[in-house]
Amino acid sequence: MEIKKIKAFGTVSPTASLTEMQIERRSIQPNDIEIEILFCGVCHSDLHTARNDWGGTIYPAVPGHEIVGVVKNVGNKVTKLKAGDLAAVGCLVDSCRTCNSCKQDLEQYCLNGFTGTYNGKDKYLGSQTFGGYSEKIIVDEHFVLKVPSNLDPAAAAPLLCAGITTWSPLRHWKAGKGTKVAVVGLGGLGHMAIKLAKALGAEVTLFSRSPEKKQDAFDLGAHNVIISNDEGQMKAAKGKFDLIIDTVPYVHDVNPYISTLSISGTLVLVGYLGGLEPILNTVPMILGRKALAGSVIGGIAETQEMLDFCGKHNIVSEIEIINMQDINTAYERMLKSDVKYRFVIDMASLKKQETKS
């Protein structure tokens, strides 16, 4: 198989800055679409992976899984898109396609393990997969999404992770008219959760540590805001919510949120991966038939459904566009919650560097 070297931005260790590097991409196979990347969103998972927060990062690591670009070439069996079309790639670039999960369009729960857009196992080259902080990506058409033409391509990029990760639990737990949904944390995922839950017809509340974000939450569509470290406000919300989507990236006490669930309510963790501290008190769960659940991204058909819904309702992310070279500063700002509410890299900045050097 022919291999091409292209430009990317990545890191060689958990403590190194991200810098320009060369990576390899396969040549186009019959079912492949080659995409020139225009924009790539910056997800907190990119930072977790670059810094090996979860363990298991293979270096060099090139993050980026909120990809929007233009189709450059297609393999001879491709029917989904043609050269010149807008295309998107999210967190998955492959799965086994034969297991029970894959057959039900739940590629994100592939029983043989899905191939992540970065830090996955590349079935073609044998190396780790490299993500969207790069000039181009080559992906099997099954894993490529169509972007509604009315959406701004830069602001649509974060839909590919922040959007689908919150859409999937909202749909699974049937958020809609007559349901009360709460979102924990106003960041990339949180702000999309508010917009999507509102558009689905739910009554939406934000839990936040940050009183200064209150007005933004209302502007995004929240009906209520609860400051999570205010005990009085937390007590007043007891027994209220049918569904809570918790986007906090680090270990935190979920007990106070469980008590704000209604009977049979569910708290879905999408942010933090790992053991909970302090200990989870099961008493209110048992006495209230409450559930604690988790959810990871979404399947390909569901991602297209979310993109089409966003097209219909004109929903995109609130973004700050940066150059590729600003990524290290952007990570530090993301850690301080200093972004409204998603960084998106203008990938033309990576090319510009080429013409200079």
For ligand NAP, the closer CB: 138 or 186: 186
CA-to-CA distance for 32 and 74, rounded, in angstroms?
A: 6
Instruction: Tell me the closest approach of the beta carbon of residue 157 to ligand NAP, in angstroms.
Output: 13
Q: Which stretch binds Zn ion (CB under 5 A): 36-44, 223-231, 275-283, 312-320?
A: 36-44
Nearest residue to ligand NAP, by Cβ distance, number only:
187
Instruction: Tell me the closest approach of the beta carbon of residue 270 to ligand NAP, in angstroms.
Output: 4
Give, in degrees to the nearest 5, the angle at Cα 73 between 72 and 78. Answer: 130
Interface with Zn ion (CB under 5 A), residue from 8, 28, 33, 43: 43
Where does this chain bind ligand NAP (CB under 6 A)?
43-45, 48, 161-162, 165, 185-190, 208-210, 213, 247-250, 252, 270-271, 295-297, 334, 337
Nearest residue to Zn ion, by Cβ distance, number only:
43
Q: Which structure tokens are listed for 198?
A: 């509102």
* Amino acid at the residue 140: D
Among Zn ion, ligand NAP, none, the one that 44 touches (CB under a kind-dependent 5 to 8 A) is ligand NAP
CB–CB of 166/159 below 8 Å?
no
Q: 232: exposed, middle or buried (C-beta count within 10 Å: 0-12, 13-18, 19+)?
A: exposed
For Zn ion, the closer CB: 21 or 99: 99
For ligand NAP, the closer CB: 74 or 345: 345
Among Zn ion, ligand NAP, none, the one that 340 touches (CB under a kind-dependent 5 to 8 A) is none
Residue appearing with tokens 């298991």: 56
CA-to-CA distance for 239 and 163, rounded, in angstroms?
A: 27
In degrees to the nearest 10, what's the CA dihedral of 225, 229, 230, 234? 70
Alpha-carbon separation of residue 84 from 6, 229, 306 (angstroms): 20, 50, 23
Among Zn ion, ligand NAP, none, the one that 96 touches (CB under a kind-dependent 5 to 8 A) is Zn ion
Where does this chain bind Zn ion (CB under 5 A)?
A: 43, 45, 95-96, 99, 102, 110, 112, 161
